[in-house]
Structure 1
Amino acid sequence: MTRKFFGTDGIRGRTNAGVMTAETAMRVGQAAGNYFVRGKHRHRVVIGKDTRLSGYMMESALVAGFTSVGMDVIMTGPLPTPAIALLTREMRADLGVMISASHNLFADNGIKLFGPDGFKLSDEAEAEIEALLDVEPTLATAENIGRARRIDDARGRYIHAVKNSVGNDVRFDSLKVVVDCAHGAAYQVAPSAIWELGAEVITLGVNPNGTNINDGVGSTSIEALQAKVVAEGAHIGIALDGDADRLIVVDEKGRKVDGDQIMALIASRMHEKGSLKGGGVVATVMSNLGLERFLQGQGLTLERTKVGDRYVLERMKEGGFNVGGEQSGHMIMLDHTTTGDGTVAAMRVLASLVRSGKPASEILHLFDPVPQLLKNVRYDGGAPLENVTVQQVIAEAEAELEGKGRLVIRPSGTEPVIRVMAEGDDASQVEAVVDRVCDAVRTAA
């Protein structure tokens, strides 16, 4: 089934253009509401958002949609995506909704849906809801229209859960931490949680104005954080994205630490304590070969999925893993969360820093990444990956890298782009392979 609305992570697009309009949001509320109204109890949905200007509009439209089909609505205001997943489960809600376009700039927005268990909806459930968007909704009778209310203690509930993700004996009194919240959803809760455990907290990106989310700050723009860590003599820097489901770290020298290195630290520490489940870690095809080799040296495995934290999560649940993530910074720790949670992952990194007594530059660079190169090729139409010549070039490239590296080729799920990634021990070979494949795709496109 071709999807018009849902992509790899809910619905996302430019606000007031295409699918991301108030009208669409109201229809999504009605369709999702009709899908989840089952049984005779009062049905409830939790709605959170990040700090985008359009969040107010989308929130109001969703409230109208859900209440019109008889669902009561609880609004939390700005909160991280994982907080909405948590509250959905804790409040026995039928559904959770996060209004966010994650790491995108303010002009975009999106809608993510969580089931009553706090997990993102399956592809099948999203497809059924999308089908309902083309059907006239079943509206509630006048006396059964839903009610809407805001709750005031949502931030406190989430901060409490975040602190509980580390041991009761852990304190951060010795740490000076720079926390960059991308002017996004975690601008209050992340600095508060870290400060409450004793750290000296220096903040960046905590003054949202509706249009500055992810603008020059956050996990996709860490230059300001790198400079601040060095200037302040901080022990570590923490960078979240707009909805705080991903984490990138900066060590005391100002060097970037990506999700692969964070997974290496968390997994190895948990393995030492005997708390790592599944015998390894789940990541995507984009994670560096260096991570795989490091884990193998620890007697652990790296299981790969296609790109998207939802696919990582699916494999984690299937295989009984409790640690997974993406190179881009999504960290899923199933003992504590049901989705990626940058703040929880940051707490684990800070706890390891305290317990080790070593600098971040030592504990957060556990392996040397092999040279990795990613290039995008835009095409106007057709299916360039089905071209015989392209397939032959890809086969030759894979044979050349066999035993020395990897080649990953995938079409983008959101735009007409083919992503070509290769990695291996020889940087010049990697670059040559990527260029050959890109040239073949470009010629066929």
Structure 2
Amino acid sequence: SASHNNFADNGIKLFGPDGYKLSDEQELGIEAFMDEGLQEGLAEPRALGRVRRIDDAQARYVEIVKATFPRDLSLSGLRIVIDCANGAAYKVAPTALYELGADVIPVGVTPDGTNINEECGSTHPEAMAKAVREYRADIGIALDGDADRLTICDEKGHVVDGDQIMALIAGAWADAGTLRAGGVVATVMSNLGLERFLAHKGLALHRTGVGDRYVMQKMREGGFNLGGEQSGHLILSDFSTTGDGLIAALQVLAVMQRSGQPMSRLSRQFEPAPQKLENVRFAGGKPLENDKVQDAIKTAEAKLGDKGRILVRASGTEPLIRIMAEGDDERLVASLVKDIAGAVKSAAG
């Protein structure tokens, strides 16, 4: 659905009857059917069943979200900036926080059908950070268009990485004995520092391909109840079958309230390994299949050895090649990304 992009890229997200995202095979089947044309072989209206409208869906959702917050806590005393990206949560997110006792400052709550994610939300955290500083809030929370991912900033307006949020929740849940399966599921993009942090606590980091669908699949297979992506997609399977930025935010707020510490103290759970990311746009073709690109990747991997990681992949939603390298030697990491990016640019013409 590309719900973090502008309105022109937004689409439809389908879920199965169990509440989980569809598999790759199911989605490809639907796409193939649509490519064949929708004029023939359609079912009669009577065979499709009935559409039922849930008029109180917003109120139901607010109650479900509030029920995920510990009953012995409230948000009383906290001033919270919530940026809803002019998207799906523009009413429900401020309402849930307010009803839990917070002093709420809403941002990005005037959707007009075309301004979703426009200079606001998790893809533009500067709007949230500015409001936090202006209103002297304790924390800022920014959601994306469909509110399945979040970005957080502390009371100083400093943005908190998604891996740090996962580490914060994992540590709190491990201490409380509620973290299941002895670990966390994340993607290949998550920082090496998160892996080291978890290992120090006797926990494992299980990596998947990029995409919250693959994270959820691994969680279901292994019985994990916490997983997510560096981008802020967090899945807390005790509460939801998919990512929910507001539910994840409430877990962070619960840690804040229980610890009595400001977000600036809680936001640095581990020292991240230097990580360099670069996106290279291409007009067409398959640059990753180019021999010179493959040689550049192999050379970089040999130079880095076992002191870091290199990941080169095509974006699933845009014509981009995403290049990531991380390791303890920051200069080497930057140099390797530059070399691979140069090869990709040459191959892309």
Superposition TM-score, scaled by structure 1 size: 0.74
Structure 2, unpaired ranges of 5+ = none
2:101 — aligned with what?
198
Q: Show the 5 A alignment for 1:315-334.
A: 315-334=218-237
Please give the alpha-carbon distance, in whole angstroms, between the structure 2 residues aligned to 1:145 and 1:420: 45
Q: Secondary structure at the match of 2:14?
A: strand
Shift of 1:307: 0.8
Shift of 1:304: 1.1
Please give the alpha-carbon distance, in whole angstroms, between the structure 2 residues aligned to 1:438 and 1:258: 24
Query: What residue identity is the alignment partner of 1:118?
Result: G
Instruction: Identify, as 1 or 2, the structure richer in strand.
Output: 1
Matched, 1:117 2:18: yes
- Pairing partner for 2:217 from 314, 327, 339: 314
Shift of 1:147: 4.1
Please give the alpha-carbon distance, in whole angstroms, between the structure 2 residues aligned to 1:166 and 1:346: 10
Matched, 1:427 2:330: yes
- Pairing partner for 2:33 from 112, 126, 132: 132
Matched, 1:379 2:276: no
Shift of 1:114: 0.5
Query: What residue identity is the alignment partner of 2:113?
Result: G
Query: What residue identity is the alignment partner of 1:436?
Result: D
Structure 1, unpaired ranges of 5+ = 1-11, 13-100
Deviations 1:114-162 (A, max 9, x none): 0111000111222222333326233226x55644453221011111111
Deviations 1:313-365 (A, max 9, x none): 11111111110011111010000000000000011011110000001011121
Does 132-141 or 391-400 show the bigger shift?
132-141
1:294 — aligned with what?
197
Matched, 1:244 2:154: no
Matched, 1:271 2:212: no
Query: What residue identity is the alignment partner of 1:360?
Result: M
Q: Secondary structure at the match of 1:361?
A: helix
Aligned residues: 345
Shift of 1:443: 2.4
Please give the alpha-carbon distance, in whole angstroms, between the structure 2 residues aligned to 1:383 and 1:106: 27
Deviations 1:295-317 (A, max 9, x none): 11111111111111101111111
Query: What residue identity is the alignment partner of 1:137?
Result: G
Query: What residue identity is the alignment partner of 1:181?
Result: C
Deviations 1:281-300 (A, max 9, x none): 11111111111111111111
1:209 — aligned with what?
112
Matched, 1:399 2:302: yes
1:353 — aligned with what?
256
Matched, 1:255 2:153: no
Q: Secondary structure at the match of 2:271?
A: coil
Q: Show the 5 A alignment for 1:154-165.
A: 154-165=57-68
1:176 — aligned with what?
79
Instruction: Provide the aligned C-alpha RMSD in A.
Output: 1.7
Superposition TM-score, scaled by structure 2 size: 0.94
Please give the alpha-carbon distance, in whole angstroms, between the structure 1 residues aligned to 2:52 and 2:316: 36
Q: Do the aligned partners of residues 250 and 163 (structure 1) sit closer, same or farther apart at CA in structure 2, a change above 3 Å counting?
A: same
Q: Do the aligned partners of residues 140 and 394 (structure 1) sit closer, same or farther apart at CA in structure 2, a change above 3 Å counting?
A: same
Give identity over the alignment, percent.
59
